Amino acid sequence: MMRRGLLLVVSGPSGVGKGTICKALMKLREDIVLSVSMTTRAPRVGETEGVNYFFTDHKTFESMIQNGELLEFAKVYDNYYGTPKAFVMEQLEKGMDVLLEIDIQGALKVKEQYPEGVFIFILPPTMEELRNRIVGRGTETPEAIDKRFTAAYNEIDLMENYNYFIFNDRVDLATTRLISIIEAERLRIRPKFVKTLIREIKEEY
Amino acid sequence: MMRRGLLLVVSGPSGVGKGTICKALMKLREDIVLSVSMTTRAPRVGETEGVNYFFTDHKTFESMIQNGELLEFAKVYDNYYGTPKAFVMEQLEKGMDVLLEIDIQGALKVKEQYPEGVFIFILPPTMEELRNRIVGRGTETPEAIDKRFTAAYNEIDLMENYNYFIFNDRVDLATTRLISIIEAERLRIRPKFVKTLIREIKEEY
């Protein structure tokens, strides 16, 4: 039976550990494709084209914006970051599930263009712990920490736009929860495809 | 965090093995309560009140129908079978997940009264295999087998009213799929409860 792949959007406030969970998932599962972002910033030492990012120039990126070739994008300081649509759509049409790890603003833009995606909100075990994690990075001034924490605190409200929540109390548990969500979504009856599914079940007889 | 329990309705055509899957699940999981049906038929040898069925008389059953105290019921020959509502609702309010194994007509009646339930359709691995299983019971005439198979074949169309489908190719795999669905549904963001969830996450800080 041919099914369309799932777009799995893993998102949450900065500092909740969504990257760690996605890495753990990708190590466990070979049946999921990771979406690679595109950026105009220069590659850093050790970064590989098509693995960490697709690297491109401003002119190309801006023409992709114009042509609607990005699922979402953002400008951070002087550089663009975005998700090329074509790669994701090709994989979904081949029946592959695609994992997209992305911040909340990006996830909400993806939802506008692809509402049938599975939107998963990663939560810190507690808000206290999230503050500790932001502090623990040790790279920021107290003002910057406060600003980052307040942003994360306010972003929790946006989880009402999501389909699932996962508390990241332990990476292994959070990854197991993510796998359950993926397994269940593969078994979900989607009104758009149920007639085809029924026909396929019956045709074989 | 206090959450309302899930009503897990496991259903499908006769012969697909939904009872076997539910038994396997109940052996593995102590955090799920099995809904017990009520009937007016006499207990058979070895059947225990409150385990296999709640046994009652016609008068009591009919007054329960009148008072809307059943989630669903059916009359089979001269006896009533039904699902008492109070037990299910009490468990759900306590935050317990309740498993209801039921035929398709019953499941659709439950859905009318409790659309927020999780409706899971068990499918045979193939229609051919379903016919073999019906034949394999060896208790029925060719005409009865045909009738039962045709009914099952037509009932497949009703899966569009369900949330999930599970192919019962192997009982252990089917049970694992059911567990994934339950784990995922526990993590689902329900519009009705998301404000409470957000408030609880934030209040602790």
The yes-or-no verdict on residue B2 having pLDDT over 80 is no
- Best residue of B187, B196, B203 to probe chain A, by most A CBs closer than 10 Å: B187
Average pLDDT, chain B: 93
Instruction: Say how far apart CA B39 and CA B61 lie, in whole Å.
Output: 8
Candidate from B121, B160, B187 with C-beta closest to A177: B187
Residue A64, domain member (yes or no): no
Residue A104 corresponds to which amino acid?
I
pLDDT of residue B192: 85
Indicate the SS3 state at residue B100: strand
pLDDT recorded at residue A205 = 65
- Whether residue B45 is contained in a domain is answered as no
pLDDT at position A74: 95
How far apart are the C-alpha atoms of A54 and A37, rounded to whole Å? 6
| CATH number of A167's domain | 3.40.50.300
Window 164-193 of B, Cβ < 8 Å to A: 164-166, 177, 179-181, 183-185, 187-189, 191
Q: Is residue A83 part of a domain?
A: no
- Residue A203 confidence (pLDDT): 82
Q: Can you spell out the DSSP letters for B20-72?
A: HHHHHHHHH-SSEEEP--EESSPPPTT--BTTTBEE--HHHHHHHHHTT-EEE
pLDDT along chain A (205 residues), means of 10: 88 92 96 95 93 94 97 94 96 96 96 96 92 81 89 93 97 98 96 89 77
Instruction: List, for residues A111-165, the tens digit of each pLDDT value.
Output: 999 999 999 999 999 988 888 888 887 777 889 889 989 999 999 999 999 999 9
Question: Which residues form the domain of A156?
Answer: 7-35+95-203
The phi, psi pair for B80, rounded to 5°, reads: -90, 145
What pLDDT shows up at residue A204? 67
Contacts of B188 (CB under 8 A, 6+ apart): A163, A164
ipTM, 2 decimals? 0.92
Structure tokens, B114: 């409790």
Mean pLDDT of B41-49: 93
**A129 in a structural domain:** yes
Q: Is the per-residue pLDDT at B139 higher than 80?
A: no
Contact A128 B166 (CB under 8 A): no
Chain A residues with beta carbon closer than 8 angstroms to that of B205: 126-128, 153
Answer whether residue B65 is part of any domain.
no
Q: What confidence tier does B134 reach under pLDDT thresholds 50, 70, 90?
A: confident
CB contact under 8 A, B185 and A184: yes
Domain assignment of residue B151, yes or no = yes
The total number of structural domains in chain B stands at 1
pLDDT tens column, B80-113:
999 999 999 999 999 999 999 999 999 999 999 9
Query: Is B176 inside any structural domain?
Result: yes
Domain-embedded: residue A30 = yes
- What integer pLDDT is reported at residue B181 of this predicted model? 98
